Amino acid sequence: MSAPSVARHRIRWKATVALAGALVGPASAVWAAQAPQDIVAVVKRIQEAAQRRSFVGTYVVSHGGHMTSSRITHFCDGRDQIERIEALDGQMRQVYRHNDTVHVLWPGSRTALVEQRELVGRFPAPLQPGDGTQIHQYELQVGGDERVAGHDAQVVLFKPRDALRYPRRLWLERRTGLLLRSDLLNERGDVLESASFSELQINVRLSAQTLLQEMNRLDGYRVNRPVYLPTSLDSEGWTMRPPVAGFETLQVVRRPMAPWIARTAASGVSDTGPAADNAMVLQAVYSDGLTHVSVFIEPFVAALHKRGTPATIGSTSALSHRQGEWWITAVGAVPVAALQQFVGGLERRKP
């Protein structure tokens, strides 16, 4: 199965992991009565809100007329972070995270994927070292107070300054800064995708040992442990010219295709056979401070790679393009115009 085909299935559960990923980071101070006006401070506060808090909640992701719900259990003692995300709809799926290690389990098919957290989408995306200039592609607008899942919340809007990203409206728990709800909007203000806690208990007592035992109970599972090889576009013979405005490179890796296949095979999507076990794809991850875009580069195979219209689920789209002997796919919760710039901007460097 090609990267773009797998991407269409992978983004179905991306929003679930992304919202959970927002609830990590160093401890934050209590929110003041007036929300801070500095956009970098707001992003950092969201990222930092939950390190010293444990919580349990149910949240719902809705997009394109579809709705899914999950149960998240998050433990933190100021040193270790452990969480469990259980899909409550459809096929049973459990996502466990212990600091940087993630286990994705499909009990029905006895399949497991073990990988590093930095390759799982987070929201907000990590700010680059320095002053976080990429986040200034958005304008911060502070709204009023509302209630979400029984908690008082401050509403803020990140309004993009161009057409390469979506507006985001966030509800932040007034006392702790926890992200309670996130809406992605189109240019008309319509909601493309919404992720929100329906109920949330903060500062609950949890057993780290119990969560770790569940996470590492892999007997009888077919376990995929992909190895990611750090690299750079330049050393792989590629360049992005010109860079897409407001996006900076977070990571470039060579990764096996097999984990992608494992994820979709667990959902009933067949792979392409034994040859796929050795398939590799180059992945470059970009961030504007709020969202990610991943660009995948692999050799073109006529039997697998078919040009088509962009695939969109909620706010997340996938766009593919053939460039000579290569097949390029861009995936992200951004307008298709942004993906077109990523795909069109990649150039093969002459030897």
**CATH topology for the 13-215 domain:** outer membrane lipoprotein receptor (LolB), chain A (2.50.20)
Q: What does the CA dihedral 20, 23, 26, 27 come to, rounded to 10 degrees?
A: -150
Task: Give alpha helix (H) positions in 238-288.
Answer: 258-265
Contact partners, residue 219, CB within 8 Å, separation at least 6: none
Nearest C-alpha neighbor of 290 from the set 247, 339, 251: 247
Domains of the chain by residue range: 13-215, 227-348
Q: Which of 196, 204, 207, 256 is nearest to 61 (CA)?
A: 196
pLDDT averaged over every residue in the chain: 81
User: 187 burial class (0-12, 13-18, 19+ CB within 10 angstroms)?
Assistant: exposed
Two structure tokens written together for 226 = 């992909």
Distance from C-alpha of 310 to C-alpha of 166, rounded to nearest angstrom: 17
Quickly list H helices, the chain: 3-10, 14-21, 39-48, 208-215, 258-265, 336-345
Q: What integer pLDDT is reported at residue 79 of this predicted model?
A: 82
Q: Residue 159: how many CB atoms within 10 A of its CB?
A: 14
Residue with tokens 């040859």: 275
| Nearest residue to 174 (alpha-carbon basis) of 193, 140, 147, 200 | 147
pLDDT at 33: 38
What does the block give as tokens for 26?
């160093």
pTM over 0.85: no
**Could you identify the residue written with the tokens 């360049």?**
239
CATH of 227-348, one of 3.30.200.100, 3.30.70.100, 3.40.630.30, 3.40.220.10: 3.30.200.100
What is the CA angle 107-110-111, rounded to 5? 105
Predicted confidence pLDDT, tens digits, the chain (351 residues): 444 443 433 433 343 444 444 443 333 333 333 444 688 888 888 888 866 778 999 989 998 788 999 999 999 887 888 999 999 999 999 999 999 899 999 999 999 999 986 655 555 665 555 556 788 899 999 999 999 999 999 999 999 999 999 999 999 999 888 999 999 999 899 999 999 999 999 988 999 999 999 999 999 999 999 888 999 999 999 999 889 999 999 899 998 875 444 333 333 333 333 344 457 899 999 999 889 999 999 999 888 887 767 788 878 999 999 999 999 999 999 999 999 999 999 999 866
Number of residues that this document lists for the chain: 351
What pLDDT was estimated at residue 44? Answer: 82
Start-to-end CA distance of the chain, whole Å, equals 30
Cα–Cα distance list, 244 to 62, 232, 288, 309 (Å): 29, 17, 10, 21
Residues 95 and 113: their CA atoms lie apart, in Å, by 9
- Hey, how many other C-beta atoms are within 10 angstroms of the C-beta on 266? 23
Q: What is the distance between the alpha carbons of residues 121 and 291, in angstroms, rounded to a whole number?
A: 8
